[in-house]
Chains A and B, each alone.
Chain A
Amino acid sequence: MKEETVQQILSRYAHRRSALLPLLHLCQEEAGYVTPEAIGQLGERLGLSPTQVAEVATFYDMFRLKPGGRREIWVCHNLSCSLLGAEEVVRRLEERLGVKAGETTPDGAFTLRRFECLAACEIAPVIQVGPDYYGPVRPEDIDALLERLRNG
């Protein structure tokens, strides 16, 4: 974490604890996950115990407390996506990647995750990878999508 960035984030808030979520995002972007060291460092920085930092980090779905794949594939499995075939999409992805949802491929390329409504129901069933949305996705689109993600 660059000191300048940390200072810039801290300057946005009247209470330094408010910087916890932005700093957790930053740690995760840098290390790929929230490391035990980061939990300790953030605690020292913000005047919190490691437990206070960890209870926040574990509360939110997006923070990873363990290393995962280089990219996360989020498949929405909420109602609108399920109505239009999200389960078939999950099954095809599991089959092609050789892992179950929640797991990481042995080569470390992808972590496959089921996600709750990604707020993109107009293109259900939807997959989100980083800033990109893909949909409507059919099981037969999965091979091409994975190819694109591997090369992209």
Chain B
Amino acid sequence: MSEKVLTKRFEISGYRGTIEEYLATGGYQAIPRALKEYSPESLIDLVRRSGLRGRGGAGFPTGVKWGFVPKDPTLTKYLVCNADESEPGTFKDRDLITRDPHQLLEGIILASYAIGCRTAYIYLRGEFVAGAVIMEQAIQDAAAHGFLGNNILGSGFNLKVHLHRGAGAYICGEETALLESLEGKRGLPRLKPPFPASAGLYRLPTVVNNVETLCNLPHIVLRGAEWFSSIGSPKSTGNRIFSVSGHVRRPGNYELPMDVPMRELIFQHAGGMRGDRRLKAVIPGGSSVPVLTEQHLDTRMDFESLAKAGSMAGSGGVMVMDDSTCMVRAGEIVARFYHHESCGQCTQCREGTAWLHKTLRRIEAGRGRKVDMDLLMDICDNMKGKTICPLSDAAAMPIESYLKYFGDEFEQHIVERACPFGSGGGS
């Protein structure tokens, strides 16, 4: 049985995440330790050596990202916690925020110290109404205990943390769109470079880190880089929280080593398939990644193994579908989502997501034409790698994979002029 780290306090009966409870269970011990034993540079080095990679989706090494921030002490630097969790199938950050908010704050304080930030923001998904109340309270309590504010624990380090609520836009999970949104604008992604580390919020050096990424930091400080890198695989270190949903017996968040096999995750931890039906498809990293099938069940869930299997580890949202699922309908839902969420600034994405949705809806409704499968592939080809941000790719890649593995099913819809699963879609 692997050890739980990020979610260990979830198991304490009656734990509500107050500062008293957090302190009583070893919380906020990494702050004095870091302030006393580490310079900002050596803290960055520690995180680099731990191998920690971003848990938001891209998997970029956290210590390396921090290292890109200019060291010039006269420059204002910002840390932004990306708490805009919106990748379909992902619900780990919501749990981390509402059940142990001080663990996140402790991570934010450590990251801010490392990069020399004096004002940090938590960009919280607008729909997290309960989470906003909890986080706001946690910030006040941390300040009252001297973990935020001026001269933290007598170290001379100052930090303010502010909660900033989003308002319902998936695209704001993309870091540059998030920064635009934090500046009070529409969430339109920026061209990169420049990357946020050199020109982020208000064009000043900025690090954007995911909630789960930041939550790992207190544990790395207290237990060391070697401990952290001994968990998981050499390139995907540490634990990860997998959000498992769909046709499994026990949907939920499961914290496991990054390289847990998919079969173990689904059949052991999530309890296997409901009604003992046959597993048909698994989306292993949020709705934007290519689908996998039964033949991939022995794949491990780390970044490299999933990439080798033709998919991606993404956000850790694992959606499981049994043999009652219509893959055209699944594709229609995924396409509808990206169509709704495209910010509209790039033509390929704005038009492509609309065409994908329209075409899939037509096939699902039994009005598909013979040319539609080729048309879908053509649209996807025109969407990938041609836009400012990855939303366009995120919309195209899953659809290509559904056609690759379940092409017969699409063809059946077109030939029989009806959905063989009796769904018909439509919304």
- Please tell me which one of the listed residues B86, B88, B169, B243 contacts residue A79 in the complex, with CB atoms under 8 A apart: B88
Q: Say yes or no for A62: interface residue by CB 8 A criterion.
A: yes
Count of chain B residues with a beta carbon within 8 Å of a chain A beta carbon: 57
Interface residues of B in 315-362 (CB under 8 A from A): 317, 319, 321, 325, 329-330, 333-334, 337, 340-341, 343
- Please tell me which one of the listed residues A18, A59, A118 contacts residue B182 in the complex, with CB atoms under 8 A apart: A18
Q: Say yes or no for A95: interface residue by CB 8 A criterion.
A: no
Q: Is the CB of A25 within 8 A of B167?
A: yes
Q: Given A62-B126, A83-B247, does the pair A116, B184 have CB atoms closer than 8 Å?
A: no
Q: Is the CB of B333 within 8 A of A79?
A: yes
Q: Say yes or no for B186: interface residue by CB 8 A criterion.
A: yes
Q: Say yes or no for B371: interface residue by CB 8 A criterion.
A: no
Q: Say yes or no for B165: interface residue by CB 8 A criterion.
A: yes
Residues on B with beta carbons closer than 8 Å to the beta carbon of A19 = 184
Q: Is the CB of A121 within 8 A of B168?
A: no
Interface bracket on A: 35 or more
Residues on B with beta carbons closer than 8 Å to the beta carbon of A97 = none
Q: Is the CB of A17 within 8 A of B183?
A: yes
Q: Is the CB of A24 within 8 A of B91?
A: no
A48 closest partner in B (C-beta): B184
Interface centre among A17, A22, A56, A121 (most CB of B within 10 A): A121
A83 closest partner in B (C-beta): B246
Residues on A with beta carbons closer than 8 Å to the beta carbon of B196 = none
Q: Given A21-B181, A79-B319, A90-B427, does the pair A116, B165 have CB atoms closer than 8 Å?
A: no
Q: Given A20-B184, A21-B166, does the pair A124, B337 have CB atoms closer than 8 Å?
A: no
Binary B-proximity of A136-148 (CB < 8 A = 1, otherwise 0): 0000000000000
Q: How far is the CA of A61 from the CA of B171 in the complex (A)?
A: 12
Q: Say yes or no for A80: interface residue by CB 8 A criterion.
A: yes
Q: Is the CB of A83 within 8 A of B325?
A: yes
List of 9 A-B pairs having minimum Cβ-Cβ separation, nearest first: A61-B168, A121-B245, A60-B167, A20-B184, A17-B184, A131-B130, A62-B168, A117-B88, A80-B245
**Smallest beta-carbon distance A21→chain B, Å:** 6
Q: Say yes or no for A55: interface residue by CB 8 A criterion.
A: yes
Q: Say yes or no for A82: interface residue by CB 8 A criterion.
A: yes
Interface residues of B in 227-279 (CB under 8 A from A): 243, 245-247, 251-253
Q: Say yes or no for B101: interface residue by CB 8 A criterion.
A: no
Residues on B with beta carbons closer than 8 Å to the beta carbon of A83 = 246-247, 319, 321, 325, 330
Q: Is the CB of B90 within 8 A of A119?
A: yes
Q: Say yes or no for B60: interface residue by CB 8 A criterion.
A: no
Residues on B with beta carbons closer than 8 Å to the beta carbon of A117 = 86-90, 287, 337
Given contacts A77-B427, A83-B330, 20 further A-B contacts (CB under 8 A): A18-B182, A18-B183, A59-B169, A62-B127, A62-B168, A74-B127, A79-B330, A79-B337, A82-B329, A116-B86, A116-B337, A117-B88, A121-B89, A121-B246, A121-B251, A122-B243, A122-B253, A124-B251, A131-B133, A132-B130
Residues on B with beta carbons closer than 8 Å to the beta carbon of A124 = 245-246, 251
**Smallest beta-carbon distance A65→chain B, Å:** 12
Q: Say yes or no for A15: interface residue by CB 8 A criterion.
A: yes
**Smallest beta-carbon distance A124→chain B, Å:** 6
Q: Is the CB of B94 within 8 A of A120?
A: yes
Q: 25 A-B residue contacts at CB 8 Å?
A: A12-B164, A14-B202, A18-B184, A55-B186, A59-B169, A60-B169, A60-B187, A77-B427, A79-B89, A79-B319, A79-B330, A83-B246, A83-B325, A90-B427, A117-B86, A117-B88, A117-B287, A117-B337, A118-B127, A119-B85, A119-B86, A119-B94, A120-B94, A124-B246, A132-B130
**Smallest beta-carbon distance B285→chain A, Å:** 13
